[in-house]
Amino acid sequence: MNANKTKRSTVVVALGGNALLRRGDEPSFANQLDNIKLAARAIAEIAKEYRVVIVHGNGPQVGLLALQNLAYDKVSPYPLDVLGAESEGMIGYMLAQELQNRIPEKDVTTLLTRIEVDSDDPSISDPTKFVGPVYDEEEGRALAEKNAWTMKRDGEYWRRVVPSPLPKNIIDKTSIETLLAAEQIVIACGGGGIPVCKCESGFKGVEGVIDKDLAATLLAKQLGAEKLLILTDAPAVFLNWGKQNQRALRNVSPDELKQYHFPAGSMGPKVDAAVDFAEFGGKAYIGALDQSLDVLAESCGTCVSLEHQLEEA
């Protein structure tokens, strides 16, 4: 029995922060819990067939923590790496509890995960990672001036953007491997992981939020996972999104996907992550949360693989 279990493929599931708190929803506990229950239902089905590691986003949640952080002005605001760790604990707890309720026979562990980045990463001077709620332009500009934030357009709305350094190494990878070997469902690298960089005393926190899709790709590569599943609030990768001539990309090669441009703050990192993992030799999938098993079965969503490059040739 144990020998059969070790042969199960590993899938890293990247769960978008916007899939846990939908765009425009009130960022309440009740709304997040409802969405996490939907996520847990989908992931529980995946866990019946695969060994699963879950990497979740935290853009809406860490932005909300930052706003709450500003409400008490008698102390300096906590840095983003600490708020990221808070969001890892909060979302990880909610996910673990709902997954355990769905499949009580499985152990589920949430692991606070540190990821090494460069202290002089270019994103520190050119932030692109959306966090927090959406605003209309007037409110967004007022908040930017009041709090010295950088704001950028996110579709028809405005949102705060923060540095998003590239992940280099998952410091706690061995612990993740140990939990997976014990057939546990593992929630790791939450919010893209806690960004840290090397210093004289070892490591120190970095002010930023790592993109969870890039962190999930790095994790999938370092674990030797066969599949990377990026779940979001879009059913697939689309060309000309939102226009009359929009078209879903279904089965594509990395080279084909690299020909197109996607927004840096939304679909761009997902496409970059999928291309990176496919070029590494794995299969990457992008699709909607409520269609996760169908996406893995390649009956919907977008699949990126070198196999499709061979088919094109």
C-alpha 76/C-alpha 69 separation (Å) is 9
What type of residue sits at position 201? S
Residue with tokens 């990878």: 173
Q: Are 81 and 116 in contact (CB under 8 A)?
A: no
Q: Are 57 and 192 in contact (CB under 8 A)?
A: yes
- Catalytic entry in 212, 282, 283, 287: 212
Annotated active-site residue 129? The verdict is yes
Annotated active-site residue 140? The verdict is no
Q: Are 188 and 172 in contact (CB under 8 A)?
A: yes
Q: Are 203 and 116 in contact (CB under 8 A)?
A: yes
CA angle 45, 265, 173 (to 5 degrees): 50
- Catalytic entry in 59, 132, 208, 270: 270
Annotated active-site residue 283? The verdict is no
Q: Closest Cα to residue 60, out of 33, 35, 25?
A: 25
- Catalytic entry in 16, 18, 69, 192: 18
C-alpha 81/C-alpha 207 separation (Å) is 6
- Catalytic entry in 16, 57, 129, 282: 129
53's tokens: 């590691």
Tell me the catalytic residues: 17-18, 129, 212, 270
